[in-house]
A and B are shown apart, each in its own frame.
Chain A
Amino acid sequence: MRMINSFLVMIALLASSCILSEPLMTFSSSLNQTRFQSLTQELRCPKCQNQDLADSQSGIAKDLRTQIHFMIEQGKTDQEIVDYMVARYGNFVLYRPKYSAVTSVLWMGPVAFLVIGLMVFVFVVCRNKKRRMGETS
């Protein structure tokens, strides 16, 4: 029984330490909270390559979350917040890269490959058809 008790205490302590690791954020509206959640999921943590800001426990991610919270409550638009981050950490922090001359390959590449594939497909089918018709006649 004592062991179970101490075990429960341990679990409770662990849980509370997780909650206390960041000061609780309060939002003036639920819209602001939703904006905060989507922004922190769309921005990459600059320190830890494959985590978004919402996920990361690194110090800089915490600072940036605080900053985003502050800017949202200040009435800044999503675009202003994203621009603020890009000005400091570069396009790297965007999970969805902006459309520009450099990134056009990223956006248009898949479409271009699809079109090329379709063209090759149609070409091959037509050629085979023609050949078969030549054989039968």
Chain B
Amino acid sequence: MRKWVLFLPLIVFIGLGIVLYKQLGANPEYMPSALIGKPVPDFTLVTLQADKVLDQSSLPKSAYLLNFWATWCPTCEEEHAYLNQLANQGVPIVGIDYKDDQKKAQQWLSIKSNPYQLVLMDELGKFGVDMGVTGAPETFIVNTKGIIVYRYQGAMDDVVWQKIKGYLQ
């Protein structure tokens, strides 16, 4: 009788243990976006400031950030200062005012200063659903070809940005 067969369960156990141990501490909220590698979906949205109807063609031709935010979202308030900082560094940011009130949003930007090149209103959250958004804030990185390459859920800060800024190209 080959004795090594008796060790098979132990080997399987250790293998499983390693796999499961690696998952410990992983963020269970993390969910990869289904839109990675795909272009930004079609839309027609109204601008927050000028009430103009815009579509795809109004998006920047360079790489940019697409940031979902709202005045009802405390984490958006938290990340706002950092977004201003990024904008000052020359990072183009497009804002989507997600399921929000136009007046409040305009006020918010005039008080906290506006980091966005362009702000579009997604009042019903329809564009948010098309982008696979689950809440706010969420930040997408779109490359020069108009392809979504990264999605971050939560407040943007320096630690996160240093890790993901390489995608912006």
CB < 8 Å: which of B128, B129, B132 contacts A90? B132
The distance in angstroms between the C-alpha atoms of A87 and B130, with both chains bound, is 9
Whether B99 and A46, one on each chain, are in contact in the complex, defined by CB atoms closer than 8 angstroms, is no
**Interface extent on B, as a size class?**
10 to 19
CB < 8 Å: which of A47, A58, A88 contacts B131? A88
Look across to chain B and name the residue whose beta carbon is closest to the beta carbon of A62.
B125
Check: A67 CB closer than 8 A to any chain B CB: yes
The distance in angstroms between the C-alpha atoms of A14 and B47, with both chains bound, is 39
The distance in angstroms between the C-alpha atoms of A21 and B124, with both chains bound, is 17
Whether B125 and A63, one on each chain, are in contact in the complex, defined by CB atoms closer than 8 angstroms, is yes
Known: A59-B99, A63-B125. A89 touches B34 (CB 8 A): yes
Check: B81 CB closer than 8 A to any chain A CB: no
The distance in angstroms between the C-alpha atoms of A134 and B147, with both chains bound, is 72
Residues of B contacting A89 with CB < 8 Å?
A: 31, 34, 132, 134
Residues of A contacting B124 with CB < 8 Å?
A: 63
Q: How many residues of A contact B (CB 8 A)?
A: 15
- Minimum distance in angstroms from A22 CB to a CB of chain B: 15
The distance in angstroms between the C-alpha atoms of A87 and B124, with both chains bound, is 19
The distance in angstroms between the C-alpha atoms of A59 and B134, with both chains bound, is 8
The distance in angstroms between the C-alpha atoms of A90 and B37, with both chains bound, is 13
Check: B135 CB closer than 8 A to any chain A CB: yes
Whether A49 and B28, one on each chain, are in contact in the complex, defined by CB atoms closer than 8 angstroms, is yes
Residues of B contacting A87 with CB < 8 Å?
A: 34
Residues of B contacting A49 with CB < 8 Å?
A: 28-29
Residues of A contacting B17 with CB < 8 Å?
A: none
Residues of B contacting A86 with CB < 8 Å?
A: 34
Check: A64 CB closer than 8 A to any chain B CB: yes
The distance in angstroms between the C-alpha atoms of A87 and B33, with both chains bound, is 10
- Minimum distance in angstroms from B48 CB to a CB of chain A: 20
Interface residues of B (CB under 8 A from A): 28-29, 31-35, 99, 124-125, 128-135
Besides A59-B135, A92-B32, 10 more A-B contacts (Cβ < 8 Å) are A46-B132, A47-B134, A58-B135, A63-B125, A86-B34, A88-B34, A88-B129, A89-B34, A89-B134, A90-B31
Interface residues of A (CB under 8 A from B): 46-47, 49, 58-60, 63-64, 67, 86-90, 92
Query: 5 nearest interchain CB pairs?
Result: A90-B34, A47-B134, A88-B132, A46-B134, A60-B134
